[in-house]
Every structure is written in C-alpha cells, then in structure tokens.
Amino acid sequence: MIISVHIADLGVRAARTALGRPPRPGAVPGLRFATTALTGALAAGLPSLHPGRAALLASWDDDAALDRFLAENALARRLAGGWQVRLRPVRVLGAWGPMPVETDPDAALGDEDGPVAVLTLGSLRLRRAVPFLRANSRAAGRATADPSMLTAVALARPPRFVATFSIWRTVSAMSRYAYGTAHPQHRETVREHRTEPFHHEAAFVRCRPYGARGTLDGSDPVATAAQDPSRPKLAG
C-alpha cells in the first residue's frame, strides 16, 4: 500500500469542479480510497484557506496503480501542474475507517533521522468542532514556528473530514515537537482528545516520503529536506 498527496493551484472555479469529482475505488484500477479536499495553511487561529487550491488524498495498491492514474485520469491531468508526493506508511496510531492503513515491514525509514511526512486524519464530531479548533490552533501555532517543519497543509471536506499533512526535516525533530516537554501544546491536544474525543475516529500516520514532483509555494519540501546540510549522516 502507498498513499499519495496532490496539491495544485487551479483557480476558484476549476478547484470547485475538481473538488466535486473525487475518483472512486472500483472505477480506477488499484485505487483503495480517495477524497478531494479544501486546503489551508496551518497557523495559530483558524487555518488560512486557499480558495483556488485543490488537494487529492488517495491510497493505492502500489506505485503501478498510481502511475496508471497519473497517465490516464482527467483529474490527475488537472492537478499535474502542482505538487505531488508518494508516501509509504511506516507507523500508524489509531484507525480511520475510510482508509485502512497498512504498514510495510520493508518500508522502515532507511535513514532513521531522515525526512518524515505525517498525516493526521479525523472524522469530526460536530458538537466538538469548537474545542477541536481551539486545541488545533494551539498545536498548529507551535508546529509552524518550528524551523524543522518544512511544510504544513490543513485539509478539509465538510462537514466531517479534517486532516493535516506535514513534512519535517528529520524524525527526531518531529518527535521533539510531538512528544517533547519543552513545548507541550501537542501533548495537551492529544490528552484532551483522549479525555473527550474530537473525532468519531482518528489516525496519526507516519510515512516515508518519496517520488515527489513539482513544487508547492515555489519549492519541493522533500528535496529541501534531503539536501539539508545540517541533517545527521549515518556512518557508512
């Protein structure tokens, strides 16, 4: 199993069209799940929406299935001018029914302190929307202030689907943000969710990013992470 994320600036009208027609498993060979989503920039406070930017989140049997989609599908052609990245799941906490996540025992991060992508997925309890936004604002504000975070995108398909997608320079930097004691905002958000869940179901998925194409806001965050001269190197 692999996951793909596609993000492109299409303009408001074209984005609206793309958002209304997500691919369907069964109609697209090798597709397990797909949703199109609104996008926004994570920040303290409410996410700053990008009205002309569309995203596609999908899972696939393998790279060959995604390659066929990219070559043959009309939505893939619309999104081709943006940025896309392939993700191989290496760890999952929780579960999100619409997209069961399988981790590949051969997909562990080759460089344990290399670039890492993180997906958070949730089906929002509408009565918990305001507390969720408050808690998410605290955690997002701290995350986006961290120089190790290279990109972060909020994804939503109302009324219930909410997600975040981020890429970090290293696994250790992401872990310090998520579990460290110096800045506890993320841990407090997790604790609040456990006490009274924000979502009907939710998952945290850590992935190895690869096969990125195009640019997002002028750069490819996967290439930026790979070229970081400060990243520790494994002894050979």
Residue 141: pLDDT band by 50, 70, 90 thresholds? low
Distance of CA 56 to the CA centre of its chain: 10
For the entire predicted model, the pTM comes to 0.87
Picking from 208, 205, 224, 228, the residue whose alpha carbon sits closest to that of residue 216 is 224
* Contact (CB, 8 A) for 69 and 50: no
Of 42, 18, 19, nearest in space to 167 by CA: 42
Residue 236: what pLDDT? 30
The per-residue pLDDT for 10 is 96
- For residue 183, name the pLDDT band (cuts at 50, 70, 90): low
Looking at the chain, the whole-number percentage of residues with pLDDT higher than 70 is 83
Average pLDDT, the chain: 86
Pick the CATH number of 2-225 from 3.40.190.10, 1.10.760.10, 3.30.70.100, 3.40.640.10: 3.30.70.100
Helix (H, G, I), strand (E, B) or coil at 79: helix
pLDDT band at 234 (very low <50, low <70, confident <90, very high): very low
- Please name every residue paired with 157 in a beta bridge, in sequence order, or none if there are none: 161
What pLDDT does 44 receive? 59
Report the pLDDT averaged over residues 5-23: 93
Q: How far is CA 131 from CA 120, 124, 161, 193, in A?
A: 17, 11, 16, 10
Residue 231 falls in which region: left (phi positive, over 0), alpha (psi -120 to 50) or beta: beta
